[in-house]
Amino acid sequence: MSDSESDDEFPSTLRIRRVDGKKSLVKGVNKRHVTIPEGIRIIKESAFHGYTDLVRVDFPSTLEIIEREAFSGCTDLVSVNFPSTLKNIGACAFYGCTNLVSVTVPPTLEIIGSMAFQEAGLVSLDLSQTQVTEIKNWTFQRCTSLTRVVFPQTLTQIGDCAFHNTRLVSLDLSQTRLWWIAVEAFLECKSLTSIVFPKTLTCIGSAAFSHCYNLTSVTFPDSLENLPVRAFDQCWNLTSVTFPDTFKEIDEKAFRGCVNLSVVLPPKCFAWSDAFENCKLVIKPSDHILELRKELRAIWSQNVQRQGRMRTVAKQPRIELSNGMMDFEGQQSARERVQVVRLWKEIKEELAPNMGLLAPVIFSRIKEGGEKLVKMPSYVEQPPSEKVFTIVFTDLGVDVEQGVEQADQGGESKQDGHINKRMKTLKLRF
């Protein structure tokens, strides 16, 4: 490169050749700001590998493929804005780009190669509009600043160690078509607090969420039937796990060391002897208790809907009901209250003498719903005969008087204004 060439100009000595009729960049040069010419469709393997002074790259609107290791080790590269034509990012393409904090990807992107961004400095990444179907092995491994990823609906697989040792805070996979989460995919994601799985999930690999110390709760979809070895090993702050009734097997050490976990096992599930080693409490209720819970669930669902219809906002009914309809709702609540008292008596007899220990775990969802229900002024103002679950709330440790003071002040708080919507969900999750 001659001295006359400026830092802002791509050198005239750039070698370009045609491969299968497409222009391809064969070799770059060590410069801080590189502008790749229009017409280039492929950036070849290792084109800028190890160029530690490279800060900025301007891509042409014709670019389709970035081959493996093209920008690996470019430690000063800060941000990348790909053109709307890009389809493929090769393996290790941006490996070790430790200062690469921002990447903007186009909807045309279909493939991200294994280790493509391993040990990069990424903070967040939005893949929601892309056509990516698979996050390959080690793609974002040890991206220790990565806190947020938005996944595309097209996603079906997450590979081995894909997000190992990242700082993801929450994981929402609910809108994807994901069926497979591979071995150690989210191992040591120590900042991860919540996960929402899709309804399509069928396989979780061993140690997939091991050592996610701050994870607090997990609900598995009906599509999942098994958990492998060490799946959630050493998740110290995990307190709640909800399995579908169809769950079949929990393998060795799946929840080992989850010292705060209290869990209710599904009726036909086999758990290895050390699957819950050092956990706080593991319960496998009798068939009778499960049947009683099913009956209680049906009444709970009806009652939650009724509370929604009778809810008040600023002391005014949310839905105008006739006197006859209000009387009917009150009578129905009174009938249900008798049923609940009968069912709860049977439950207490079945669980005695460990009622206080077991009931809050087995009926954790109704306890959560009750803590919100008792804050509703419309509930507080009801006569005792219409408060269907009072005896249940009391035995589960719900403070049934906590909403009185709020009701006396009139209206609802901003938080309570969302209770009705929340209850619609809780009635299904109990």
Last residue of a domain, one of 252, 284, 316: 284
**pLDDT score at 32:** 85
**pLDDT score at 310:** 52
184 phi-psi bin (left φ>0, alpha ψ -120 to 50, beta other):
left
Is 323 inside a domain boundary? yes
What total of structural domains would you count in the chain? Answer: 2
Q: Which CATH number fits the domain that encloses residue 247?
A: 3.80.10.10
Residues 239 and 162 in one domain: yes
DSSP string, 24-64: EE------SEEEPPTT--EEPTTTTTT-TT--EEEPPTT--
Which pTM value belongs to this model? 0.76
Could you say which DSSP state residue 325 is in? H
| Contact of 424 with 311, CB cutoff 8 Å | no
Q: How far is CA 181 from CA 185, 191, 209, 370, in A?
A: 7, 19, 10, 35
Is 391 inside a domain boundary? yes
Residues 141 and 254 in one domain: yes
Which residue type, as a one-letter code, is found at position 98? T
**pLDDT score at 324:** 56
Is 117 inside a domain boundary? no
| Contact of 27 with 45, CB cutoff 8 Å | no
Last residue of a domain, one of 284, 304, 324: 284
Is 17 inside a domain boundary? no
Residues 311 and 227: their CA atoms lie apart, in Å, by 42
**pLDDT score at 147:** 98
In the chain, the N- to C-terminal Cα span, in Å, equals 70
Residues 153 and 131: their CA atoms lie apart, in Å, by 8
Phi, psi of 368 (to 5 degrees): -60, -45
Last residue of a domain, one of 284, 309, 340: 284
Residues 133 and 116: their CA atoms lie apart, in Å, by 15
Residues 209 and 345 in one domain: no
**pLDDT score at 120:** 98
Is 79 inside a domain boundary? no
Residues 272 and 161 in one domain: yes
Q: At what angle do helices 419-429 and 364-373 cross, to 10 degrees?
A: 160
Is 175 inside a domain boundary? yes
Is 14 inside a domain boundary? no
| 302: containing domain | 287-429
Residue segments in the chain with a per-residue pLDDT below the cut of 50: 1-21, 26-28, 30, 312-314, 317-319, 321, 405, 407, 411-420, 422-430
The enclosing H or E element of 196 equals strand 194-196
Is 409 inside a domain boundary? yes
Residues 259 and 129 in one domain: yes
Residues 157 and 278 in one domain: yes
Residues 147 and 296 in one domain: no
Residues for the chain: how many in total?
Answer: 430
Could you say which DSSP state residue 153 is in? T
Residues 237 and 312 in one domain: no
